[in-house]
């Protein structure tokens, strides 16, 4: 596209908010009752992250299962949402599908195959924020849409809809043990930025919500990275 | 029971048919008789002053209910005398939805199909055009335009060859939002195009300086896009009452006032507002009926809108 820098998102935003909402309405009807399964798995993940446990971190198998569920969600959305439905409105959706597929592969490689993704109930601010962001994506974000004027049939559910899945994944990743998982944070954070901009271009209510959640995660993750490096620096020097 | 055809009934039917042909195109919604047209300078063929765009509004995917709604918009558009429908491969499913609507309406013969080629590879242009034609379901396009001047050096020779072979009737170029006007002028000055499509509305009037005069000089038809700035312009003016003097040019609403400003420019052939609503398409096409603003009224419209 020539002079691409002169284009704003509203210049290339090719469908209306009404069409976007209808997309979810028809998607929900087509995949029913997958939403119930996704919600149940989401609650299971939440309880696993929240419940008291022994030792440091959850059991490794639980980390594998949580990661496998997340990967399955990202892959499902890549195919069932982006390729099968969203791509009929916008050619860009095919690139989104590749992004979601990449995130699924990264989760499988890191968490399922190598088993290096475990989660812990962290008592600090980052841990509380991570769990809160996850619960927000699972329980609050879908309902907020209805409060802002969407019909309940157009609901976006964690595990099958891109926005709550991306936000929820970011929340969970804040609870990952060890170093900050930037390689896993990148795709959902980018998606949240794109989604927020898309919603803003369509004059959707509260378009900043998804982007703000992602920005919060990135800030907290950066804070955690800095804190970790300082701690390791102190211990090395000491 | 089969009605009996008598000499009297035959004559009265013929008289009624004759009267209908004189009066057509009749706009049921506006109650006015003839839609205003302007000639395509390169051929003399006349087009209604208001057409129909499809950016955003017709991109509804495979949603049958939404497609039927778009078909109703098309039906109202044709019913009120509209002809020019504009789309592009860039517009998602819009071409397919137009094809669906045209099929549902029995392929109205008055359709003036305007589409675009939008691909960076000149070699892949013909394939994209053929796919667009298949989606529309038309035997050939009336107008093919190079979208946003993308690879125009490669596409224009192919489009001119198609025109020579009778596979398209007119060739044009497009831009929007004031981009690449210098290049648009160069193409207008050097290539035998029939149409140029630019953004023009009561607040975006840059084309008045050079492009519209050049179009008249070079006998190039002008299609104007973004008449309402994709919505914000009309939403902002609709917060205010329609000035009483709008009735002097037969405007019943803001859409018609804004559109009449555009199509009353003598270089403009046709404006292409997009909408997904039947009441709006009727309002829009209504701008192609009745009295049009003269130069002093045009200045009055600009002044009024700028001061809102």
Per-residue model confidence as pLDDT tens digits over A172-210: 999 998 888 999 999 999 999 999 999 999 989 989 999
Residue A223: both structure tokens together: 């804070």
Q: Does residue B101 belong to any structural domain of this protein?
A: yes
- Phi, psi for residue B221 in degrees, rounded to 5: -70, 150
Q: Does residue B77 belong to any structural domain of this protein?
A: yes
Which tens digit of pLDDT belongs to each residue from B57-98? 999 999 999 999 999 999 999 999 999 999 999 999 999 999
Which tens digit of pLDDT belongs to each residue from A53-100? 555 555 667 889 999 999 999 999 999 999 999 999 999 999 999 999
CB contact under 8 A, A14 and B177: no
Which tens digit of pLDDT belongs to each residue from B202-250? 999 999 999 999 999 999 999 999 999 988 899 999 999 999 999 999 9
SS3 label, residue B41: coil
Question: Does B60 lie at the interface with A, CB-CB under 8 angstroms?
Answer: yes
Share the mean pLDDT of chain B.
Answer: 90
Q: Find, among B26, B40, B31, the residue nearest to B112 by Cα.
A: B40
Question: Does A15 lie at the interface with B, CB-CB under 8 angstroms?
Answer: yes
pLDDT at B21 over 50: no
Q: Does residue B279 belong to any structural domain of this protein?
A: yes
Residue in A11, A15, A91 nearest the CB of B177: A11
Evaluate whether B83 touches B102 at the Cβ level (below 8 Å).
no
- Phi, psi for residue B37 in degrees, rounded to 5: -130, 165
Residue in B62, B149, B176 nearest the CB of A88: B62
The residue that leads in pLDDT, B141 or A146, is B141
Counting beta carbons within 10 angstroms of the beta carbon of residue B123, is it exposed (0 to 12), middle (13 to 18) or buried (19 or more)? exposed
Please name the residue of chain A whose CA is at the shortest distance from the CA of residue B149: A2
**The length of chain B, given as a count of residues:** 308
Question: Does B278 lie at the interface with A, CB-CB under 8 angstroms?
Answer: no
* Consecutive H or E run containing A42: helix A34-50
Q: Does residue B248 belong to any structural domain of this protein?
A: yes
Q: Does residue B31 belong to any structural domain of this protein?
A: no
CB contact under 8 A, B57 and A16: yes
pLDDT at B25 over 50: no
The alpha-carbon radius of gyration of chain A (Å, integer) is 18
Q: What is the 3-state secondary structure (H, E, C) of B72-110?
A: HHHHHHHHCCCCEEECCHHHCCHHHHHHHHHHHCCCCCC
* List of chain B residues whose C-beta atoms are within 8 Å of the C-beta of residue A90: 59, 92
Rounded to whole angstroms, the Cα distance separating A35 from A158 reads 8
CA distance to B115, B209, B225, B295, per residue, from B212 (Å): 21, 7, 14, 15
Q: What does the pLDDT read at residue A61?
A: 79
Q: What does the pLDDT read at residue B3?
A: 38
Reported as a pLDDT band with limits 50, 70 and 90, residue A145 is confident
Please name the residue of chain B whose CA is at the shortest distance from the CA of residue A15: B56
Reported as a pLDDT band with limits 50, 70 and 90, residue B8 is very low
Q: What is the ipTM of this complex?
A: 0.85
**Mutation target vs B (from A5, A8, A9, A14; most B CBs, 10 A cutoff):** A14
Question: Does B275 lie at the interface with A, CB-CB under 8 angstroms?
Answer: no
A117-121, B11-15, B24-28, B121-125: which has the highest mean pLDDT?
A: B121-125
Rounded to whole angstroms, the Cα distance separating B170 from B175 reads 17
Question: Does A2 lie at the interface with B, CB-CB under 8 angstroms?
Answer: yes
* List of chain A residues whose C-beta atoms are within 8 Å of the C-beta of residue B228: none
Question: Does B68 lie at the interface with A, CB-CB under 8 angstroms?
Answer: no
Counting beta carbons within 10 angstroms of the beta carbon of residue B45, is it exposed (0 to 12), middle (13 to 18) or buried (19 or more)? middle
* List of chain B residues whose C-beta atoms are within 8 Å of the C-beta of residue A14: 55-56, 59, 90-92
Question: Does B276 lie at the interface with A, CB-CB under 8 angstroms?
Answer: yes
Q: Does residue B76 belong to any structural domain of this protein?
A: yes
Question: Does A231 lie at the interface with B, CB-CB under 8 angstroms?
Answer: no
The residue that leads in pLDDT, A116 or B126, is B126
A residues 80-119 closer than 8 Å to B (CB): 85, 88-91
Residue A156: both structure tokens together: 């976006």
Rounded to whole angstroms, the Cα distance separating B37 from B50 reads 9
Q: Domain tally for chain B?
A: 1
CB contact under 8 A, A1 and B150: yes
Q: What does the pLDDT read at residue B29?
A: 55
Residue A195: both structure tokens together: 């989604």
Edge-to-edge strand ranges of the sheet holding B270-271: B84-86, B112-117, B141-146, B168-174, B195-199, B221-225, B270-271
Q: Å from A170 to nearest chain B CA?
A: 31
* Consecutive H or E run containing B68: helix B64-79
Q: What does the pLDDT read at residue A233?
A: 61
* List of chain A residues whose C-beta atoms are within 8 Å of the C-beta of residue B57: 16
Residue B165: both structure tokens together: 């072979």
Which tens digit of pLDDT belongs to each residue from B287-308? 999 999 999 999 999 999 999 8
CB contact under 8 A, A14 and B91: yes
CB contact under 8 A, B61 and A11: no
Q: Does residue B4 belong to any structural domain of this protein?
A: no
Q: Which residue in the block uniquely carries the two structure tokens 């704003």?
A: A8
Q: Which residue in the block uniquely carries the two structure tokens 């409060």?
A: A147
CB contact under 8 A, A22 and B63: yes
Reported as a pLDDT band with limits 50, 70 and 90, residue B176 is confident
Q: What does the pLDDT read at residue A115?
A: 86
The residue that leads in pLDDT, A90 or B22, is A90
Q: Does residue B172 belong to any structural domain of this protein?
A: yes
**Mutation target vs B (from A10, A24, A86, A89; most B CBs, 10 A cutoff):** A89
B118 lies in which domain range?
46-306
Whichever domain contains B91, its CATH number is 3.20.20.100
Q: What is the dihedral of CA A105, A106, A107, A111, to 10 degrees?
A: 110
CB contact under 8 A, B55 and A14: yes
């Amino acid at each position: 596209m020539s002079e691409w820098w002169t284009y704003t998102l509203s210049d290339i935003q090719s469908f209306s908010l009404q069409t976007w909402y209808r997309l979810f309405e028809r998607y929900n009807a087509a995949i029913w009752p997958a939403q119930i399964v996704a919600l149940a798995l989401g609650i299971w993940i939440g309880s696993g992250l929240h419940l008291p446990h022994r030792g440091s971190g959850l059991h490794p198998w639980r980390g594998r299962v949580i990661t496998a569920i997340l990967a399955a969600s990202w892959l499902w959305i890549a195919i069932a949402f982006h390729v099968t439905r969203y791509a009929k409105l916008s050619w860009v959706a095919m690139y989104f599908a590749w992004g979601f597929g990449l995130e699924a592969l990264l989760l499988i490689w890191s968490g399922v195959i190598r088993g290096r993704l475990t989660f812990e109930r962290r008592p600090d601010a980052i841990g509380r924020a991570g769990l809160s962001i996850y619960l927000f994506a699972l329980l609050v974000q879908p309902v907020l849409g209805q409060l802002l004027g969407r019909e309940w049939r157009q609901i976006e559910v964690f595990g099958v809809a891109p926005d709550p899945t991306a936000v929820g994944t970011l929340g969970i990743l804040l609870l990952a043990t060890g170093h900050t998982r930037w390689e896993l944070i990148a795709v959902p954070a980018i998606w949240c930025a794109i989604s927020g901009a898309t919603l803003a271009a369509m004059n959707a209510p509260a378009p900043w919500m998804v982007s703000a959640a992602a920005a919060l995660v990135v800030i907290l993750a950066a804070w955690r990275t800095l804190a970790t490096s300082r701690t390791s620096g102190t211990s090395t020097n000491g | 029971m089969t009605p009996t055809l008598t000499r009297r009934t035959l004559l009265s039917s013929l008289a009624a048919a004759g009267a209908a042909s004189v009066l057509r195109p009749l706009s049921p919604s506006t109650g006015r008789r003839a839609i205003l047209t302007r000639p395509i300078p390169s051929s003399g063929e006349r087009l209604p002053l208001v057409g129909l765009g499809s950016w955003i509004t017709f991109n509804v995917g495979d949603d049958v209910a939404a497609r039927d709604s778009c078909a109703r918009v098309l039906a109202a558009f044709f019913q009120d005398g509209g002809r020019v429908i504009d789309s592009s491969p860039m517009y998602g499913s819009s071409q397919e939805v137009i094809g669906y609507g045209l099929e549902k309406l029995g392929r109205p013969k008055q359709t003036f199909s305007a589409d675009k080629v939008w691909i960076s590879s000149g070699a892949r242009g013909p394939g994209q055009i053929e796919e667009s034609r298949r989606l529309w379901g038309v035997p050939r396009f009336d107008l093919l335009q190079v979208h946003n001047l993308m690879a125009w050096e490669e596409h224009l020779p192919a489009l001119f060859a198609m025109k020579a072979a009778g596979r398209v009737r007119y060739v044009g170029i497009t831009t929007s939002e004031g981009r690449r006007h210098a290049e648009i002028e160069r193409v207008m000055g050097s290539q035998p195009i029939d149409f140029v499509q630019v953004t023009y509305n009561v607040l975006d009037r840059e084309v008045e300086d050079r492009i519209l005069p050049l179009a008249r000089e070079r006998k190039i038809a002008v299609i104007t896009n973004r008449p309402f700035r994709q919505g914000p312009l009309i939403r902002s003016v609709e917060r205010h009452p329609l000035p009483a003097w709008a009735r002097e040019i037969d405007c019943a609403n803001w859409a018609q006032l804004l559109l009449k400003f555009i199509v009353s420019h003598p270089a403009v052939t046709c404006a292409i507002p997009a909408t997904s609503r039947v009441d709006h398409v009727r309002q829009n096409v209504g701008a192609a009926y009745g009295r049009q603003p003269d130069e002093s009224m045009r200045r009055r419209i600009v002044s009024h809108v700028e001061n809102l």
